[in-house]
Structure 1
Amino acid sequence: MATLLLNWGVVRGEREVHAENRHQAILRKLREEGSLRVSDFAAELGVSPVTVRRDVEILADRGLVARVHGGAMLPDTWAETAPTGTAPGARASGAGTPGAGAAGRQRVIGLIVPSADYYYPEVIKGAREAAAAHNLRLVLDISGYDAGEERTQVERMIGDGVDGLLVVPSGPRGWYEELPVPVVIVERRPEADEVAGIDHVLSDHVHGARLAVRHLAEAGRRHLVLLVRGTSPTAQWIIEGFEAGVRAAGLEAPRTTSVLDLGDAGHGSPEYDTPVEALLDAAAEGRVDAVIAHPDNEALALLRRLRARSIPVPGKVAIVSYDDEVAGLADIPLSAIAPAKREVGAAAVELVVRRLDQPDAPRHRLFVLPQLRARSSSGG
């Protein structure tokens, strides 16, 4: 790309873009995309990252943008997940305040999540609220479920001098034990002795799935199916909890319970439609009377198909969704298992603060219990 496609049409090259034009370009980029990364936008403009970082600071001082780690956001976008009363990019005013380091510097905690548009916004909110309570500065980055990008972000944050890290890993975790700052693994369950020297905080999805089964069994449902995307990082724990729940409820008879794993099959594909249509047939014939579906979008899609087939919900089939991001917005509000996402984010901050203050304290693996929110789809 030889030119920068902006209204003022500056040609990339050795000539540096005028400061006011750069400021307008930054604001235009933020209006179009919501956020920008300093290094990427500097390359787009053909100027140094230091120049763009200085421009962002000027715009932040004017209240036009919010500074975040490695980039910028519009203030309104930042405010959607920032705790009440927290100023974007705020810093501590001096020594002796809670959260200050040995030299009076405000501690900085890095948070890396795979996504900011599903599930994790509440985790981010909880972390920001807890960070504000401790007078910590929290900086955020999004890995996009890319393990390589995640590692780059970790290295960048450490290079920028963060005091600790909260990470939702998208790949192997063993290397986190080698880092020079405390790390808390978030929403990923440790396996055996993996990363034994690192604190963990996560939702107990095994408990959540068992809670859904128990709710349906107590409502008189006997023929349960779990509809799940096995590619989800939490799927194996939901399956484990579902299977344990049906055993505890005495629903082990052959062909009365099953797990339907959709993998990564796309909606409308034969790999998706064939098993889902078989499930609908079983529901119409009374061989299935309840479905637990993860995530919410699968529960919503199932509800649409059941209604298209004139199969009453909850009369003939009860539904419990898992995640409760949008379940309550369905035309028949869906009962849901709601992981305590905000509490997970807050607990992660508490653990990293504890580790900073007490480096030799025992390690923690903290499981936060999800809750059932009973609505119309299960007769609640």
Structure 2
Amino acid sequence: MSDPIQTAAFAHARRAHLLDALARDGAIRISLLTDELRVTPVTLRRDLAQLEREGLLQRVHGGAVALPAGPSGRPPDDPPTVTGTIAVLVPSLDYYWPGVVRGIEAEARRQGFGVVLRGASYELQDERPVLERLIRGENVSGFILAPNTDTEHAQDVIQWLAECGRPSVLVERDAVVLPGHEPVESVRTDHTLGAVLAARHLAALGHRRVGLVMSRNSPTSRKIADGWHEACAELGLMTTSGFEPLLPDRRSPAFSASVDSTLDDALNSDLTALLVHSDPEAMALIDVALNRGISVPGDLSIVAYDDEIAELFTPALTAVSPPRGAVGHAAADLLIKRIADPDRPLSRILVNPSLQVRASTAPPRPVGERRRAAE
């Protein structure tokens, strides 16, 4: 028997994904979304009908289009009444996070909340001063944030949030409140599943010797590594002992040499495929490979993790695509529900990523042929 709370959470995340796709593309087609969301056309038609009843889109044959007045359906001179302010603190205002922020802003606006946005670099050791200023200066109703959980002040930030008198939702993060280790309300991508999807795709193509390349020792990368190792063991994929490089920051003088060395190690280990986190690192590896006469995907298949810019590259990269907009929508909705009902049960929502298969993966060539091409 299905859990009605879990079913409702899935339905909300699915509808948020539809609104995010609609905001991005201006139209959505059921035929293109059934596989991506792993639901039947009937389910998607029901979702679109519900969203149309809520004034969020207009259904057309085979899908839906955006309303001329925007996602709320209100005319431009009738904006929603603002009933509160959500403070958003994310590690970066470029690359991965703008998609999450756009989802937060769209859902907050739909429900009559304003958003105050701040960016804090991964190197920031203590986010509390930023959060304290937001409470003093903006009169916020609650927080959505992705704190740096790898600093000495990380637990202090979580404890401060629990005691500040404002509800909060973590986005793409997990944490607990001490001393009882109660989980903090959160919404995040199932990055473990993302790595599993990549491993299954490579195994289905016939790859048996595969590797993982990471760009940062972060909460996301650790979850990717966990899913990758679990899937490779389950699928019988061979991963070379000691091959799991952590590339330095792209701005580092050591980055180029590290990419060269990583490619050498992959070829010397007879690997035929790599999962690379994230897109720019995958592109750098491919650039170096092509410059050295190594074919992608002929000699080496590459799956990128993030799908922020993977489709724009040549060859277009097969990529694990976290549902950034859907995560943002769900986080805003969860926080607003908490603001309205402080005593409601705590929720932790996992949103599934998808795999976008493109031109950078193919069945492996025999090792001898690949070696000749590499040399």
Q: Distance in 2 between matches of 1:369 and 1:282?
A: 32
Aligned to 1:122: 99
Kept in 1, the 8 Å contact 2:177–2:184? The answer is no
- Pair 1:234 & 2:223 matched: no
How far is the alpha carbon of 1:362 from its aligned partner? Answer: 1.4
Larger Rg: 1
Aligned to 1:181: 166
Residue 189 of structure 1 aligns to a residue in which SS?
A: coil
How far is the alpha carbon of 1:339 from its aligned partner? Answer: 0.5
Aligned to 2:317: 334
The alignment yields a C-alpha RMSD, in angstroms, of: 2.9
The residue type equivalent to 1:246 in the other structure is C
Aligned to 2:28: none
Kept in 1, the 8 Å contact 2:80–2:109? The answer is no
Misfit runs of 4+, over 6 Å? 82-88, 191-195
Alignment of 1:1-380 (within 5 A): 93=81, 106-145=83-122, 147=124, 150-159=127-136, 160-171=138-149, 172=154, 173-190=158-175, 196=182, 198-252=184-238, 255=240, 258-264=243-249, 268-269=253-254, 273=257, 276-284=259-267, 287-379=270-362
Q: Distance in 2 between matches of 1:343 and 1:359?
A: 23
Residue 360 of structure 1 aligns to a residue in which SS?
A: coil
Q: Distance in 2 between matches of 1:327 and 1:302?
A: 13
Quote the sequence identity (%).
Answer: 34
Please list the CA deviations of residues 310-333 of structure 1 after superposition, one character each: whole Å capped at 9, or x if unmatched: 111111110000111111111111
Q: Distance in 1 between matches of 2:91 and 2:247?
A: 22
Task: Check 1:191–1:258 CA distance in 2 against 1; reply closer, same or farther (3 A cut).
Answer: farther
How far is the alpha carbon of 1:92 from its aligned partner? Answer: 5.2
Residue 129 of structure 1 aligns to a residue in which SS?
A: helix
Task: Check 1:144–1:286 CA distance in 2 against 1; reply closer, same or farther (3 A cut).
Answer: closer
The residue type equivalent to 2:222 in the other structure is Q
Residue 251 of structure 1 aligns to a residue in which SS?
A: coil
Q: Distance in 1 between matches of 2:73 and 2:121?
A: 29
Q: Distance in 1 between matches of 2:264 and 2:285?
A: 13
Q: How many residue pairs get matched?
A: 284
Kept in 2, the 8 Å contact 1:200–1:365? The answer is yes
Q: Distance in 2 between matches of 1:108 and 1:243?
A: 42
Task: Check 1:221–1:197 CA distance in 2 against 1; reply closer, same or farther (3 A cut).
Answer: closer
Residue 274 of structure 2 aligns to a residue in which SS?
A: strand
Residue 232 of structure 2 aligns to a residue in which SS?
A: helix
Please list the CA deviations of residues 249-288 of structure 1 after superposition, one character each: whole Å capped at 9, or x if unmatched: 1124x7379422225586552x8625x4344335546701
Q: Which of 1 and 2 has higher RCO (CA within 8 Å, sep 6+)?
A: 2
Kept in 1, the 8 Å contact 2:176–2:183? The answer is no
Task: Check 1:123–1:301 CA distance in 2 against 1; reply closer, same or farther (3 A cut).
Answer: same
Residue 223 of structure 2 aligns to a residue in which SS?
A: helix
The residue type equivalent to 2:257 in the other structure is D
Kept in 1, the 8 Å contact 2:91–2:119? The answer is yes
Structure 2, unmatched stretches of 5+, are 1-69, 364-375
How far is the alpha carbon of 1:85 from its aligned partner? Answer: 8.1
How far is the alpha carbon of 1:354 from its aligned partner? Answer: 1.4
Structure 1, unmatched stretches of 5+, are 1-81, 94-99, 101-105
Kept in 1, the 8 Å contact 2:306–2:322? The answer is yes
The residue type equivalent to 2:184 in the other structure is I
Task: Check 1:192–1:134 CA distance in 2 against 1; reply closer, same or farther (3 A cut).
Answer: closer
Kept in 2, the 8 Å contact 1:280–1:306? The answer is yes
Aligned to 2:373: none
Task: Check 1:349–1:266 CA distance in 2 against 1; reply closer, same or farther (3 A cut).
Answer: closer
Give the TM-score of the pair, scaled to structure 1. Answer: 0.68
The residue type equivalent to 1:178 in the other structure is E
The residue type equivalent to 1:375 in the other structure is R
